Amino acid sequence: MDRALIRSFGRRVRLGMVGGGSDSIIGGTHLLALRADGYCELVAGAMSVQPEIALSSAQSQMIDRERAYTDWRVMLEREAERSDRIDAVVIATPPQLHFPIAKAFLECGIDVICEKPMTRDLAEAQELVHLVRDNNRIFCLTHCYSGFPMTRHARALIKQGAIGRVRMIDVIFAVGDPGTSVDPENPEDRHWRFRATSIGKASILGEVNSHAYHMAGFVTELKGQRVSAHLATFAKNREVFDNLYATVEFSDGAAGRFWSSYVAAGNDQGFSFVIIGETGQLRWSEEDPEYLWFKPIGGPAIRHSRGYDSNDPSATRHDRFRAGYAEGYGLAFANLYVDFAQAVMARQLGRPYREYLAILPSVEDGLSGMKFIEAATLSHEQGGRWVDCAPPN
């Protein structure tokens, strides 16, 4: 990893975080990812809606007491006044808060890293696209699986024609852990992910399947056109859907499927894809992330490994270790932070910075994702009818 840019910048990118405290599932991953390569430092935070957790979480992260906030609005106000104010905010809250927080920070000239699903609905997403553009900010949606070198290499191989024209896209994100879980009898005791009132009955589309849908477009550069979806609920006392089967028509005549689940008992992480073209296929699984299988038709299978110089530059530019030394999930997530931080640094130094953002999940990707969620929900409600899901212009 080339460090000339950070030497020129002379400091780390300063981040503030909203949510992501010790009561968060994803917070710890962001924290590790932002620290790992030394490009960023967390200097401020309103890390929980629970004040006590917000403060103890900030303390655990060695955030100065004066920058440990209990309300993101206060954080924005105070940070805006500082000369060493944060360069960017990390939004790691439940999804219904993404939009107002992002809006406020963007309008204050602060770049944004935002968890998925991007917004609560399509209308918010459309507005957020305009906010990012109008305020001319850097925005990254943390579809973290696009940070793995081997998904980036897959994207490059497909672009280079390794498997010919893409015909079929099969993406699975079937999580197993909570498979047996009986949701608590008392609705109040249920996690927000499983509460229809807080997040909507079809929350699996945003919480889980949005990663799969982004990945389909990320590696193939095709767009969903129509979707036929079936949602179902298996777990006891569960008020939201916990399983999705969807069939999708993509641009350029490709077809595909998605399976997202909270009840794939026995699965661990459960994210994988198979992309089939006219002359071969690519396979990748998040549980075995250092490898990308390329199987050309009629010949031996080729197992690409992270770390080889022969990989695409998009897959090698963050390599920390040689092939055989697994980088894993944390450093894949960190790749997003490096890309983001380099863009922020380059821009503040007045250098070209768009290249760093080229394959980072964008606000437009978030918009496509929200469109798909809306379409799939509608299709399910109409008995699996084909519904248009092409991203709005």
Q: What's the alpha-carbon Rg for the chain, to the nearest Å? A: 21
Residue 116 is given by DSSP the state: S
- The nearest distance, CB 272 to a copy of itself, in angstroms, is 11
Q: How far apart are CA 56 and CA 110, in angstroms?
A: 25
Q: Which residue bears the tokens 């998605």?
A: 258
Nearer to a copy of itself, 108 or 255 (CB): 255
Residue 246 pairs with which residues in a beta bridge?
229, 258
Give the separation between CA 306 and CA 153, rounded to whole angstroms: 9
Contact status, residue 106 vs residue 131, Cβ threshold 8 Å: yes
| Closer by beta carbon to a copy of itself, 167 or else 371 | 167
Please, what is the minimum distance in Å from the beta carbon of residue 228 to a copy of itself? Answer: 6
Smallest separation, CB 10 to a copy of itself (Å): 8
Of 245, 191, 248, 178, the C-alpha closest to 220 is 248
d(CA 135, CA 377): 32
Closest distance to a copy of itself from the beta carbon of 353 (Å): 20
- Distance between CA atoms of 89 and 32, rounded to whole angstroms? 16
Q: Which residue has the tokens 């975080």?
A: 17
Integer Cα distance of 120 and 95 in angstroms: 6
- Decide whether 73 or 385 has the Cβ nearer to a copy of itself: 385
Nearer to a copy of itself, 291 or 353 (CB): 291
- In DSSP terms, 226 is beta-bridged to 249, 388
Q: How far is the CB of 148 from a copy of itself (least distance, A)?
A: 10
Cβ of residue 124: shortest distance to a copy of itself, in angstroms?
29
Q: What would the two tokens of residue 244 be?
A: 């999705």
Whether the CB-CB separation of 112 and 137 falls below 8 Å is answered with yes
Pick between residue 280 and residue 361 the one whose CB is nearest to a copy of itself: 280
Q: Which residue has the tokens 């909270």?
A: 262
Residue 176 CA to residue 312 CA, distance in Å, equals 33
In the complex with a copy of itself, which residue's Cβ is closer, 170 or 374? 170
| Max Cα-Cα span within the chain | 64
> What dihedral do alpha carbons 72, 75, 79, 85 form, nearest 10°?
-70
CB of 311 to a copy of itself, least distance (A): 9
The end-to-end CA distance of the chain, in Å, is 36
Nearer Cβ to a copy of itself (133/322): 322
- Rounded to a whole number of angstroms, the minimum distance from the CB of residue 275 to a copy of itself is 10
Rounded least distance, CB 369 to a copy of itself, Å: 21
Phi, psi values for residue 94, rounded to 5°: -55, 150
Shortest Cβ 77–a copy of itself spacing (Å) = 27
Q: Which is nearer to a copy of itself, 162 or 359 (CB)?
A: 162
- Indicate the residue among 216 and 331 with the shorter CB distance to a copy of itself: 331
Beta carbon nearer to a copy of itself, 123 or 301? 301
Q: How many CB atoms lie within 10 A of CB 316?
A: 16
Would you say how long the chain is, in residues? 393
Task: Determine if the peptide bond prior to 117 is cis (ω within 30°).
Answer: yes
Which two structure tokens, joined as six digits, stand for 39? Answer: 């490009």
